[in-house]
């Protein structure tokens, strides 16, 4: 970075700001330049790339000075930059994020006057060789030319007729089992992917609090039953309730017994919810390990329905192309492992993939806001063992003729 005829070594660079070491690299031996926060100055960035150096002029403001004893750093924020310079900077940053260093071809379309070529002789030689290859290419056979036209036709077909999904896989409806009470989990499930049948036990939650309450209510019911029998046999008998209050009559004892029995039945219904059973023929997608503790609302297990009628292919399509996708459109699903293609049909479109409660799709992909979810049904049963297996999906785009025909329909 060049500022006021002083060169500072750069440290980091983005579209909005950059950092440079405070101590100048030229002139050598010069003390650190006095730089204050809020100072605006014209700077020139020299970025060494693949075979050339790109210089970008801009106006920057000092936003922070880090007075580190070992490595003092100055952070600048761009205040003004020409549009071509910013586009060149954006392409350079994009190439670094992609894992490679930008070459002249990456900036060829909008070539800046700031771009300094370091290999002009080599470029001229490359241009001469390119012209020679073009002359030789004109003598290619008719068969090669026809093949080129065929390739272009296929590319145009894919571009204007088909929409390729960003990612696709086979998914199944999700069954989430939630804990109703606090306690320790006991489960017979051994591993993820285990197949369970309907009504198979999935988990049991041990709650010491509910077990203690049940024992107390059972003792209360037994005591009230005995007191009720004594008072029926001897109406003048003196009897106390479990709370230590004398019963005035046998009717009052019977009412207390009925209330205790009702509380016991309600508690037993709560305790029945501590045991979880498979609601269908499912595959275990996730489960709490044996001995884990849960609280009300925690997920204890996640199951995936494995019947072939519920399996679908879920694809992610960029939201910019989702307007050309409609339910009922035909599609082609290709198994990446075998290369076999299966006809399919668009069944449902969801703009927010996070609203799809299905198993088999990476959750981190569902967080991408620029992608929409498309559910497709295929013309043949799917194997449950293929849940989560990546697929290739190409959806037929809605053409202008189809749109006009749909508009004419009442």
Whether pTM > 0.75 for this model: the answer is no
Task: Assess whether pLDDT exceeds 60 at residue 399.
Answer: no
Which stretches within 273-389 are classed as H helix?
A: 363-366
Same domain, 289 and 180: yes
Same domain, 352 and 235: no
Crossing angle of helices 250-272 and 208-233, rounded to 10°: 160
Are residue 297 and residue 321 in the same domain, yes or no?
no
pLDDT in tens, 350-368: 887 677 778 887 777 777 8
Question: Does residue 141 lie in a domain region?
Answer: no
Residue tagged 């609090």 (tokens): 209
Are 15 and 41 within one domain? yes
Cβ proximity of 380 and 342 under 8 Å: yes
Whether residue 190 is found in the same domain as residue 214: no
Q: Could you give the 3-state DSSP secondary structure of residue 79?
A: strand
Which of 60, 67, 57 minimizes the C-alpha distance to 21? Answer: 67
- Does residue 17 sit in the same domain as residue 98? yes
The answer to whether residue 152 sits within a structural domain is no
- The answer on 291 and 214 residing in a single domain is no
- Answer yes or no: do 298 and 396 share one domain: no
- The total domain count for the chain is 4
The reply to whether 297 falls in a domain is yes
The pLDDT assigned to 178 comes to: 92
pLDDT tens, residue by residue, 97-106 = 777 777 777 7
Classify 305 as helix, strand or coil. strand
Q: Is 228 exposed, middle or buried (0-12, 13-18, 19+ CB in 10 A)?
A: buried
Report pLDDT digits (tens) over 222-244: 878 887 777 777 666 666 667 76
Band the pLDDT of 118: cuts 50, 70, 90: very low
213 with 267, same domain: the answer is yes
Which helix (H) or strand (E) covers residue 84, if one does?
helix 83-97
Of the residues 50, 84, 117, which one is the last residue of a structural domain? 117
pLDDT of residue 32 exceeding 90: no
Domain-located, residue 156: no
155 is a domain residue: no
Residues 315, 376: one domain? yes
Tens of pLDDT, residues 265-296: 988 888 888 899 999 889 998 899 999 999 99
Give the domain extent around 183: 176-204+274-302
Nearest to 43 by CA among 20, 64, 23: 20
Rounded to whole angstroms, how far apart are CA atoms 95 and 314?
A: 31
Instruction: Based on the fold, state whether residues 338 and 258 are members of the same structural domain.
Output: no
128 is a domain residue: no
Rounded CA-CA distance 132/28 in Å is 49
Res 149: pLDDT: 58
Q: Chain-wide mean pLDDT for the chain?
A: 80
């Amino acid at each position: 970075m060049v500022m006021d005829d002083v060169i500072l070594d750069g440290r980091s660079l983005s579209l909005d700001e950059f950092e440079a070491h405070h101590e100048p690299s030229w002139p050598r031996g010069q003390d650190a330049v006095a730089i204050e926060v809020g100072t605006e100055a014209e700077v020139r960035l020299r970025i060494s790339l693949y075979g050339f150096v790109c210089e970008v002029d801009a106006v920057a403001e000092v936003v922070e000075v880090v007075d580190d004893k070992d490595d003092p750093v100055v952070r600048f924020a761009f205040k003004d930059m020409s549009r071509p310079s910013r586009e060149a900077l954006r392409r350079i940053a994009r190439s670094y994020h992609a894992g490679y260093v930008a070459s002249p071809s990456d900036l060829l379309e909008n070539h800046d006057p700031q771009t300094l070529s370091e290999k002009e002789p080599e470029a001229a030689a490359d241009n001469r060789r390119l012209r020679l290859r073009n002359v030789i290419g004109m003598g290619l056979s008719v068969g090669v030319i026809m093949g080129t036209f065929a390739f272009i036709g296929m590319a145009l077909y894919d571009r204007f007729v088909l929409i390729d999904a960003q990612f696709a896989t086979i998914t199944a409806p999700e069954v989430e089992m939630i804990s109703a009470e606090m306690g320790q989990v006991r489960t017979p499930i051994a591993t993820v992917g285990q197949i369970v049948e309907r009504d198979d036990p999935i988990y049991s939650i041990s709650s010491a609090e509910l077990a203690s309450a049940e024992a107390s209510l059972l003792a209360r019911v037994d005591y009230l039953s005995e007191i009720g029998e004594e008072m029926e046999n001897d109406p003048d008998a003196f009897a106390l309730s479990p709370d230590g209050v004398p019963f005035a009559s046998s009717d009052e004892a019977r009412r207390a017994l009925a209330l205790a029995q009702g509380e016991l039945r309600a508690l037993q219904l709560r305790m029945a919810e501590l045991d979880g059973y498979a609601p269908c023929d499912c595959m275990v997608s996730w489960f709490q390990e044996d001995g884990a503790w849960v609280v009300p609302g925690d997920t204890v297990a996640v199951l995936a329905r494995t019947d072939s009628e519920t399996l679908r292919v879920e694809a992610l399509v960029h939201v910019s192309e989702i307007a050309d996708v409609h339910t009922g459109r035909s599609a082609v699903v290709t198994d990446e492992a075998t290369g076999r293609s299966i006809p399919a049909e668009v069944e449902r479109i969801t703009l927010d993939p996070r609203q799809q409660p299905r198993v088999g799709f990476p959750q981190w992909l569902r967080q991408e806001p620029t992608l929409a979810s498309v559910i497709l049904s295929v013309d043949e049963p799917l194997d449950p063992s293929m849940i989560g297996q990546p697929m290739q999906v190409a959806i037929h785009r809605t053409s202008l003729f189809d749109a006009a025909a749909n508009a004419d329909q009442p």
